[in-house]
Amino acid sequence: MKDTGKYAVNELLAGKTVFSVNHGNRPVYRPEGMTKWVLHYTVSGAGRISRGAESFIENPGDAVLFPPGVPHDYITDKSAEDWVHLWVYFGINTRLTGLLNWPEINGGVLGFHIKNTANRVEIEKLLSQTVEIWGKNIPRKINFCYNLLERALLICDMENPLSETVMDWRIGKAIDYMNERTAQKIKLDDIAVNCGLSVSRFVHLFSKTTGLPPVKYLEKIRIEKAQGLLIGSNMKLAEIAEATGYGNEYYFSKVFKKLTGRAPGKFRKCLNI
C-alpha cells in the first residue's frame, strides 16, 4: 500500500504539565488559539494566563476552559516556583454540550474556582485517570477518556455559577450529613446547626432547593439505601431496617411500600435476588 503521508490524529489529547521557573520568559503562545477545546485544572503552584494586555492567575483548584479560536498565552507566575496542571484537548460532542457554559474570566477564556475539597480531589483523580488511559494502547481508549472527562465536567458543573444544577453549599453539606448518618436518629436542629442556619431558615432553603422538606428527603435517602441493601446483600429485613435508621421492621416495611409500591420482600423477589 502506498504511503500517502496522511494519518489519523486523535481528537482528544491529555497530559500533566509541570512548568517551572526555568521556563523563564518562554510562555506557551497561541495567537490564534486552538482548533478544539482545552481544559486546564491547576493542581499546585500558579500560572499566569494572558489574553492581550489582560492576564489572570490560575491557582490550585481553578478550572479553566479555552474555547476554540481564543488567543492566549501562559507561563508560571512569578509567585510560584512550579505550576502543575492537568489538561485535556478535546472536540465537542453531544454529551459535553451542556457542560461547557462557563463564566468568562476575560478575553473569551472561561473558568471558575472549585471550592469544595471533595470535588477538587475527585476532579484531579478523574483527569489523572484520563492522562493515564490516554497514554496506553488499549481498545476504545478515546471512549474511556471522554467518559472520564465527562465525569470531571459533571463535577465542575456542580459548582459552575452559570449552571442550573448549582446547589447552595449549605444544602449540599446537609445532604452529606444525612447520607453519613442514615442509621442514626437525626434531628433537624442538629442538621441546621451543622449548616450554620436556624431551623426555620434551613427548612425553607432546603425545601426550595430540593423540592422536598428535610424529613421527606431523609426518608428518600434511607429507602434508596434500603433498595441497595436488598439488591446487593443477603441482610435480613430487620437488619436493613436497623441499618437505615428505622429500627422497627414493620414500620420500615410500611414506609418502603408507600414509597416504592412494593413491600421489601417482594421488591427483592422481583429482582430474583
Domain chopping of the chain, boundaries: 12-157, 169-270
Element at 157 (helix H, strand E): helix 141-157
pLDDT at 39 over 90: yes
Question: Pick from 23, 41, 46: which is nearest to 122 by CA?
Answer: 41
Mean pLDDT of the chain: 87
Res 4: pLDDT: 45
Q: What's the CATH number of domain 169-270, 2.40.50.140, 1.10.10.60, 3.30.70.920, 3.30.420.40?
A: 1.10.10.60
pLDDT at 156 over 90: yes
Element at 240 (helix H, strand E): helix 237-243
Q: How confident is the model at residue 76 (pLDDT cuts 50, 70, 90)?
A: confident
pLDDT at 240 over 70: yes
Q: Which residue has the higher pLDDT, 50 or 26?
A: 50
pTM to 2 decimals?
0.69
The rounded distance, in Å, linking the Cα atoms of 153 and 96 is 8
The rounded distance, in Å, linking the Cα atoms of 245 and 185 is 6
Element at 43 (helix H, strand E): strand 37-45
pLDDT at 199 over 80: yes
The rounded distance, in Å, linking the Cα atoms of 189 and 213 is 14
For residue 70 the three cell numbers come to 481564543
Q: Which CATH architecture has domain 12-157?
A: Sandwich (2.60)
Q: Which residues contact 222 (CB under 8 A, 6 or more apart)?
A: 182, 244, 245, 246
Out of 135-144, 224-233, 236-245, 263-272, pick the least confident: 263-272
pLDDT at 33 over 60: yes
